[in-house]
Amino acid sequence: MTANPAVPTVPSATYRLQLQPDFPFAAAEAVVPRLAELGVSHLHLSPVLQAVPGSTHGYDVVDHTRVRDELGGEDGLRALSRTAREHGLGLILDVVPNHMAVPAPEHLARPLWEVLRDGPDSPYARWFDIDWGAQGGRLLLPVLGGPLEDVLGELEVRKDTLRYYEHAFPIRPGTEKLPLRELLDAQWYRLAHWRQASSEINYRRFFTISELIGVRVEDEEVFEATHATLLRLLREGVADGLRIDHPDGLADPAGYLRRLREASGGRWTVVEKILTGDEPLPAGWACAGTTGYDALDRIDGLFTDPDGARAITRFYEEFGAAPADEGGQWAATVRRAACRLVTHDLAAEVDRLARAAERVTGAEVPLLREAIREVLVRIPVYRPYVVPGEHAPPQAVAMMEAAAAGARVPEAGTVADLALGRLGRGPDQDDFAVRFAQVSSALRAKSVEDTAFYRWYPLLSLNEVGRDPARPACAPDDFHAFCVRLQRDWPDTGTVLSTHDTKRSADVRARLAALSELPGPWAEWLRGVSAHMREYFGHSGIPVPDRQVEYQAWQYAVVFCSAAAADVVADTLLKSEREAGLRTSWTEQDSAYEEQLARFARELIAGPTSYATAEIARALEAPERANRLGATLVHLTMPGVPDIYQGDEDRQLLLVDPANRAPYAPGSAELSEKGLLTATALRLRRDHPDWFGDLSTYEPLYAAGPAAAHCVAFLRCGRALTVVTRLSHRLAEAGGWRGTQLALPDGSWTDLLTHRTYSGKVRLEELLAHNPVGLLVLG
């Protein structure tokens, strides 16, 4: 290896590392040689700017001017960059433009501290999206453990600071000597019970998290102040590209990306945009593409049996017998979750919209509030993209008009017109159009990903970020069409299978997806084992949750089949139930129920009945392997830039955070089967970037014969051929490949996994005799 190999402008592949105090820059530096050998071209780092002390993710930034001390500071980042470059690797930085932390103590975030002290006259007031017209011109801080009068004695004044446990608030100059109650009333902020956030908060948040305050990055000065350090690191060669967190929270995502492209010199940039179904990425966005959840959706769908998924859904509905809108049916469950959010958790945001609409139209606030709610819950994607003063895109117009028509309430049409910017220009008109879109994105994320996903779960592999459980599968022709569009429109977009935000790692989903090929055996097995378990638990005095929750628990049981996973499964079920909010919740915890749930989960995974999972687990082994290797190879060779989540080069069974955000622990130096496949594909991409990059081509290749539908194959640039097996259990049930052939393009083709050479028409029994996948190169 040369001393300083050149780092490509566009990555051939990235490797995501979750930086945190237990895995700082120095730890990342230590694994650089291993990751360079694996074959990636760039390290994809979680946020590196100063965050809340102890943060394990870094998305709670408190200071945009400094690289995080707990990770090793800027010196540590520069050392990591130097070591990476010595091994031919670059760095991709994660940018958090939408929000920053409301930390405790509050002085950790200087811009916010100065606003709390000086109010709307502070030069930092423009940083934050605060509705100063509400709350009597004060900023609501929902941090108290109870109503103010009940906790007054827990507040303490120390010099120019007001203290409440770990919180520290500035005191408005000139009010320091007032009696406590008068002093509180004289501040630019109002301390309130944390429960008041949903109905009274007057600053934009990240979703419904009051500890994260929205930043007005659309303001040029705010953009420059919050991006100066990251842009300097790009200019100075410390880093090479950017990943943009949650662009849907921004007032004008397209405008932000244009400004960022200019400021960064056109560096490779991908955005964490969640596309729903066939929703396209807005064509005018100045970026390379998404972070890859749209690819995840198609890849997972490719290895899911549509008929089996439907059969499992019918069995789930019968087994769980839940009410339609409480997990019994998908669409009804989503609608109820959304309705709950717009009337409770996002009530303050809806009220702000209603007040702005009232000032424009003169209509009554209650009527406007109802119309806003009814329109919001009918938006099928994250948000419309409307910029005040510009024509609304046709897709946004069609979507908003359909939502208004479906709402069937007075003022729904007015709400749509305001959201589309049709009622002229002015502060309130512009504010409504911008804020409506931001509230819409928060509603979609919270109602679908963070609520409905935890209430409806016939097959947990479908409940994933970027996926639509109503569309469980992706036919091969649809997958090919998607790849052709990527290669044509977004050839340098990101692709992904696991992230720090996925509910379950790729290998968990591969195992669960295999159940879609065994709907009959799954239903028969679960009926029997459930009856046996209930009888055993009844004698043991162990409480059993309702059958719907039990159904979810059995899916985890067949994934892990190990007593060592008992605590992980118990913690995951607890989080799931709190997110669902039907039997317990984060804010209304039922401790007795939660204790019973934990006891049940641990007994199910580690107790005497755990042997019962062995039968179904054996049936899943072969199709899981085919799914795992097939998804891996497709991901690494399809159009786009693949991102590998830390540890995912090996079989990795991880559940939702915090389990999937643990510090990276490199595995054995000896590559596993999946690791060997990963390294082979990554090195091929690295060594032949022209075969896979923006000037490459993508060509589907079709098998011929009775089992042709089980083969997915495609050519990249006419030089690299991917062949994978889909729905392998169904294939075996039907008698295998039965003479099905794949006609190879002219020339001699070598499978890099087996080193065997083929030409002409090759029987798939022969080509895939040792592996369910093949990676062939010409010559």
- For 160-177, the pLDDT digits (tens) are 999 999 999 999 999 999
Mean pLDDT, the chain, whole residue set = 96
Beta bridge partners of 777: 720, 750
pLDDT in tens, 529-538: 999 888 888 8
Q: Would the pLDDT of 389 be above 90?
A: yes
Predicted confidence (pLDDT) at residue 1 exceeds the cutoff of 50: no
How far is Cα 487 from Cα 485, in angstroms, rounded to an integer?
Answer: 5
Q: For residues 765 and 315, what is the distance between their CA atoms, to the nearest angstrom?
A: 34
Spatial contact of 530 and 557, defined as CB atoms under 8 Å apart: no
Burial 338-350 (b: 16+ CB within 10 A, else e): bbbbbeebbbbbb
Q: Which helix (H) or strand (E) holds 91?
A: strand 90-95
Q: How far apart are CA 4 and CA 11, in angstroms?
A: 17
Q: Report the candidate in 658, 660, 639 with the shortest Cα–Cα distance to residue 716.
A: 639
3-state SS assignment for residue 444: helix
Q: Cα separation of 277 and 297, whole Å? A: 9
What does the pLDDT look like over 50-66, one tens digit per residue?
A: 999 999 999 999 999 99
Tens digits of residue pLDDT in 392-434: 999 999 999 999 999 999 999 999 999 999 999 999 999 999 9
pLDDT value of residue 64: 98
444: CB partners within 8 A, 6+ apart: 276, 379, 381, 382, 383
Nearest CA to 516 out of 297, 316, 305, 727 is that of 305
CB distance 434 to 418 below 8 Å: no
Query: What pLDDT is stored for residue 406 in this prediction?
Result: 97
Residue 5: pLDDT over 80: no
At residue 289 the predicted structure's pLDDT band, cuts being 50, 70 and 90, is very high
What integer is the mean pLDDT of 245-252?
A: 97
Report pLDDT for 4.
61
